[in-house]
Amino acid sequence: MNSEIKTLIKNSGVVAVLEIEDSSCAVETARALIKGGVTVIELALRSAAAVPSIALIKEHVREMNIGVGTILHPDQIQHVMELGALFGVSPGLNEKVVESAILHKFPFAPGVATASEIEKAVTYGCDVLKLFPATPLGGIEYLKAVSAPYKHLNLSYFPLGGITLESLPRWAKVENVLTVGGSWIATKDLIREHNYDEITRRAKIAMDIWNKERGVVK
């Protein structure tokens, strides 16, 4: 992942993970997140509404930095780039997807869960890795243990899966955690119910916690 995008993600704080089922909700959801201080999203390619949602957010909420998740096929890389995505992630390490990202010079963080997967990612030059599913794997202690042999490589991690508001302060204190992904900020139910005020409230709480623990003065 190039240094510009890595710095953008690091400085932005918590990433809101979105699964949008109706593209008509996309713009207001993004605006609610921005209002709460969250400026980076990971929009998952898990529904027919995902692609039009990316395009709508790119057009109408230009201050939102769009990442795309659940990239499972190589041809999706070029497609999401053309829609305006700044980076992509996947739940696992699909070599063909990583090779496509390299070919198109698209900032990409593959999913890893084991030492072997970390090593495979490193052979492709990946230096930002998505730890998934972070909490079921063993959480912070697992990340510290599995990443220890590779500390000299200056890898950064993007934990996602099972992270909550309660565990967020502890994750924020981990040195090699670039950011964390939170699906609790804008859940499918909140989006479906158009409860944008609650999304803003959750975004603000998450960002306040993150900034406090990271020593960021806003």
Report residue 101 as tokens. Answer: 């990202």
Amino acid at 180: V
Q: How many Å from the N-terminal Cα to the C-terminal Cα in the chain?
A: 26
Report residue 148 as tokens. Answer: 């220890």
Residues with a known catalytic role:
42, 130
H-helix or E-strand containing 111? strand 111-112
CA distance 34 to 187: 16
Strand order across the beta sheet in which 111-112 lies? 111-112, 128-131, 156-157
